[in-house]
Amino acid sequence: MGNQMTNRRRTGTTRPGKVTIWLLMLAVMIGSSTASAELLIRITEGADSAIPVAVVPFAETGEMPAGDQISSIVRDDLTMSGEFRPLAPEKMLSLPSKGEEVYFRDWRLLGQRYVLVGQLTRMGDKIEARYELFDVNREERLLGATASSSVNNTRSLAHHISDKVYEAITGVPGAFSTKLAYVTLQRSGGESMYRLQVSDVDGKRARVRLESDEPILSPAWSPDGEKLAYVSFETGKPAIYIHELSSGNRTRVADFPGLNSAPAFSPDGRSLLLTLSKDGNAEIYKMDIQSRSLKRLTNHWSIDTEPAWDHTGEGFFFTSDRSGGPQIYHKSSEEAEPRRITFGSRYNARPRPDNDGKYVYYVHQRDKAFHIARTNLQTEEETILTRTESDESPSVSPNGRMLIYATKQDGNSVLTVIAVDGGAAYSLPASEGDVREPAWSPIVR
């Protein structure tokens, strides 16, 4: 983990006046290099229904790079999903590396449902992996494939294998090769430093993309995974930027008087939903990114904010206090009338729908605690998913099977990932400072 080139923004402007917690939540040049700190992973709860799977240490031919073994990364990925319970290698009766060496009776005795074996071969500056996945009970090969990467990119190779194994067993694409964007906050000597970072889903290979002594909020991914939109207060007021990750180029796209907040890319990547108060009240607008033209999508005396496109790409969810307190609403098209979605408490905010139109996730207040909840859009049933009490900023994995959110742990802000059907969980605290505002990237093929 070396130093990374970082967009750096420090200003001497005065911070904006205090904004209410609800509104704030709802709400370049490449400079000097800064080392980023990886997130730490802690498995906090396992699922009783997790599927037993054996990931056998891969056989190796040639000199392998130092660090984590590919098979151990695959094992960790499957554990983090909450759907699998990998067998510890020291409990294995044998260490096969190809199909003809697999004796299914041995793995049945160990209570395993699946077994993954493989071989790694060093070929110059590349590592080639040959791997096979077997159903133990059926004595059947489910997957046999070859993949390769550069010697310096074996973590990506391991995540790729994890994705293929996950999909072969569940029928759902894996999300281990995707990325997380998040904001860290470090305080020292009365000063605060905000850093926008991007890492693997397990918190490894974190890179700082922007740092500022002013707040950074609401990172949102473009559908191609190549850009981030976010809110930065670096000029002393909120403005929305689009940040191209490969080049570091940043474009300020919304800097109107008042509030500029909550950007969300359209599924085709051509427009943004955002919240602006330039006309005196917080409303939802749609911006064409190329022309910068605006279309107002809500018009109400209340605060309308935190838009999120639905799975069709035609409608959107948003938060509004038009019923007296923050609630989730949905418009099935830009011209449709809003329909209220949440009724279970006086506070429901920050909607995040899944990709198939079944659920919408959000921050839900129950008594004095804030949890993450979801509503089934067909049955209107509401389910509270988290047990912690200061939860915010939910983001759904692109395969719809996991959910990441920010919460408090031992007085610090950390990220927690849970399986959407309950049970398993793991936390991702920052090695330094607080971590918040997570956003899960799309699956890019």
Rounded CA-CA distance 92/77 in Å is: 19
For the record, the structure tokens of 13 come out as 């402007």
pLDDT of residue 388: 82
Q: Domain for residue 1, yes or no?
A: no
* Contact partners, residue 107, CB within 8 Å, separation at least 6: 54, 115, 136
- Could you read off the pLDDT of 371-415 as tens digits, one per residue? 999 999 999 999 999 888 899 999 999 999 999 999 988 888 889
Least confident residue range of 7-21, 201-215, 411-425 = 7-21
Residue 132 lies in domain:
48-170
**C-alpha 93, offset from chain centre:** 37
Which H or E run includes 383? strand 382-384
Please name every residue paired with 279 in a beta bridge, in sequence order, or none if there are none.
none
- DSSP bridge partners of 145: 131
Which of 148, 170, 192 is at the close of a domain? Answer: 170
Residue 67, class by beta-carbon neighbours within 10 Å (0-12 exposed, 13-18 middle, 19+ buried)?
exposed
* Residue 445 belongs to some domain of the structure: no
Structure-block tokens of residue 248: 């570091």
Same domain, 144 and 220: no
Q: Is there a domain that residue 309 lies in?
A: yes
User: Which of 170, 196, 215 finishes a domain?
Assistant: 170
| 160 within 8 A of 152, measured Cβ to Cβ | no
Q: What is the CA 434 to chain-centroid distance, rounded?
A: 17
For the chain, percent of residues with pLDDT exceeding 70: 89
At a CB cut-off of 8 Å and minimum separation 6, what does 105 contact? none
Same domain? For 18 and 73 the reply is no
Question: Which of 17-21, 167-171, 392-396 shows the lowest mean pLDDT across its residues?
Answer: 17-21
SS3 call for 101: helix
CB 349 within 8 A of CB 366: no
Tokens of 57: 């240490």
Per-residue pLDDT of 267-296, as tens digits, reads 999 999 999 999 989 999 999 999 999 999
183 has pLDDT over 80: yes
Using CA atoms, how far residue 93 sits from 56, 105, 108, in Å, is 10, 11, 11
Q: Which of 112, 99, 110, 93 is nearest to 53 (CA)?
A: 112
Residues 329 and 396 in one domain: yes
Q: Domain check: are 76 and 223 in the same one?
A: no
C-alpha to C-alpha distances, 277 to 110, 256, 260, 302, 309, nearest whole angstrom: 62, 8, 7, 11, 20
User: Does a structural domain hold residue 293?
Assistant: yes
Cβ atoms of 209 and 245 within 8 Å: the answer is: yes
Evaluate whether 264 touches 228 at the Cβ level (below 8 Å): no
Number of domains in the chain: 2
Q: Is residue 2 part of a domain?
A: no
| pLDDT above 80 (res 259) | yes
**Together in a domain, 25 and 52:** no
Residue 334 lies in a domain: yes
Q: Which of 29-33, 149-153, 244-248, 317-321 has the lowest mean pLDDT?
A: 29-33
| Residues 190 and 135 occupy one common structural domain | no
| pLDDT in the model for residue 17 | 37
Q: Which of 186, 98, 86, 179 is nearest to 146 (CA)?
A: 98
Cβ neighbours of residue 238 closer than 8 Å, sequence gap 6 or more: 16, 27, 217, 231, 232, 259, 260, 261
pTM, two decimals, is 0.89
| Residue of 330, 331, 255 lying closest to 294 (CA atoms) | 255
Does 53 lie in the same domain as 30? no
Residue 33 has pLDDT above 50, yes or no: no
Do residue 11 and residue 90 come from a single domain? no
User: Which of 151, 170, 189 marks a domain boundary?
Assistant: 170
Amino acid at 26: L
Contacts of 186 (CB under 8 A, 6+ apart): 192, 193, 195, 432, 433, 434
Q: Tens digits of per-residue pLDDT, 206-229?
A: 999 999 999 999 999 999 999 999
Return the CATH number at 90: 3.40.50.10070
Q: Tell me whether residue 42 is in a domain.
A: no
State residue 38's pLDDT score: 67
Whether residues 162 and 191 share a domain: the answer is no
Tokens of 34: 């800064």
41 occurs within a structural domain? no
- Asked if the model's pLDDT at residue 30 lies above 50, the reply is no
Structure tokens at 415: 């990220």
Q: Which positions ≥6 away from 89 have C-beta within 8 Å? A: 56, 57, 95
C-alpha span between 132 and 141 (Å, rounded): 7
CATH label of the domain that carries residue 404:
2.120.10.30
Average model confidence (pLDDT) across the chain: 89
Specify whether 273 is located in the same domain as 352: yes
Site of tokens 């427009």: 271
Is residue 234 located within the same domain as residue 122? no
Model confidence at 341, pLDDT cuts 50, 70, 90, reads: very high
User: Are residues 302 and 335 part of one domain?
Assistant: yes
**What residues contact 30, with CB distance under 8 A and at least 6 apart?**
5, 6, 7, 248
